[in-house]
Amino acid sequence: MEDLIQEHIVTSYECGADHVLKPECFMMFCQEMAERHAEGNGFGFDWGFSRHVIWVEVQANYEFLKRPRWKERVLLRTNTGAAGPLKARRFIEMTAPDGTVLARADLQWCLIDITTRGPVPLKKVGLDIMAPCPAITQPLQKLAWPADAAFGEPFPAPRRDTDFNGHINNSAYLIWVLEHDPAPLPAEPFAIQLKFKKETQAGEAVQIAGAVQENQRRYLVGADPVRAEVIIETR
């Protein structure tokens, strides 16, 4: 399966006040690249919907080596392959025009039944894809969870964070933990790992608990049940 390579010029609304690309926007780039590549190879959203299944991301590892600035031109490259009977794995790199790697992602996806929300084996829908190349990121080793960690006050999942799959977009979990952490990150995020455990619908009550250890922070989103786990490591 051929790689998909696309050019992008960083826009103002993808950047923060420092004119640098926000981490959650790279996550959105990855989601869009995944759909474009899947669609170009015949197993995108429309293919899945016709078979009563949709692609759902279940785990994501990101590394940020140098985030581009507003108006900079970047290249995005992706490929994919099977990671097992129930999962596909996708790699994405963002580079400068000279080939310097700026950021990369190692993502795991599964197909779920639209009605039951249960996983569907790839071969059950006639999808037979090759195994991917070796991993390009290293999963984070999560810190111990303290016994006295407490969840904060609940808040409703914002409607603006709903995506076309009908649930809260994966990038929103990163935005939420950063917005609700009373202590700002001491430095730029170098690596981010997300594990998605249960979908969240707009309006559902969400709580966040966090723990800090040296240059790493770990968050749980949703108390009962836990919807996602987020780990952020700074330089």
Residue that wins the pLDDT comparison between 166 and 111: 111
**2 DSSP assignment:** -
Give 21's strand partners: 15
Q: Where are the beta strands (DSSP E) in 96-235?
A: 101-113, 119-120, 155-156, 189-196, 205-206, 208-213, 216-221, 228-234
CA end-to-end span of the chain, whole Å? 35
Residue 202 main-chain phi, psi, to 5 deg: -55, 135
* CA-wise closest residue to 150 among 116, 173, 182, 106: 182
Nearest to 117 by CA among 169, 54, 50: 54
Name which of 110-119, 127-136, 139-148 the model is least confident about: 139-148
Residue 214: the pLDDT is 80
* 8 Å CB contact between 96 and 77: no
pLDDT score recorded for residue 194: 94
229 bridge partner residues: 195, 220
> What single letter denotes the amino acid at residue 176?
W
Measured CA to CA, the distance from residue 79 to residue 208 in angstroms comes to 33
Q: What confidence tens digit (pLDDT) does each residue in 79-93 have?
A: 999 888 999 999 999
pLDDT per position as a tens digit, 137-187: 766 776 677 666 788 899 999 999 998 878 889 999 999 998 888 777 888
DSSP for 208-230, written as a single string: EEEEEETTEEEEEE-SSS--EEE
pLDDT, average across residues 66-86 = 94
Residues near 99 by Cβ (< 8 Å), separated by ≥ 6?
Answer: none
Question: Angle 118-154-141 (CA atoms, 0-180°, nearest 5)?
Answer: 60
CA distance 95 to 78: 11
Task: Using DSSP, state whether 38 is helix, strand or coil.
Answer: helix
Q: Which residues make beta-bridge pairs with 41?
A: none
Per-residue pLDDT averaged across 194-215, rounded? 90
- Tell which wins on pLDDT, 36 or 146: 36
Q: Is residue 52's pLDDT more than 80? A: yes
